[in-house]
Structure 1
Amino acid sequence: MSTSSTIELAAADLNDQGGVFCPSPKAHMPLWSSHPKVYLDVARTGEARCPYCGTVYRLKAGEVVAHGH
Structure 2
Amino acid sequence: MTQDAVVELLARDLLRGSGVYCPNPNADMKLWNTHPRIYLDVAHTGEAKCPYCGTVYRLKAGEVVSGGH
Q: With the length of structure 2 as denominator, give the TM-score of the two structures.
A: 0.88
Q: Deviations over 1:21-50 (max 9, x none)?
A: 000023211222100001100000000000
Answer whether contact 2:11 2:65 (CA < 8 A) is retained. yes
Deviation at 1:59, TM superposition (A): 0.1
Deviation at 1:17, TM superposition (A): 4.5
Answer whether contact 1:7 1:26 (CA < 8 A) is retained. no
Moved more, 53-62 or 11-20: 11-20
Answer whether contact 2:11 2:17 (CA < 8 A) is retained. no
Percent identity of the aligned residues?
63
SS at match of 2:63: coil
Answer whether contact 1:4 1:54 (CA < 8 A) is retained. yes
Richer in helix (by share):
1
Quote the RMSD (CA, aligned, Å).
1.5
Report the Cα distance in structure 2 between the residues aligned to 1:40 and 1:26, rounded to whole angstroms: 15
Change (3 A) 1:59 1:19: same
Report the Cα distance in structure 2 between the residues aligned to 1:7 and 1:26, rounded to whole angstroms: 10
- Pair 1:47 & 2:47 matched: yes
Q: With the length of structure 1 as denominator, give the TM-score of the two structures.
A: 0.88
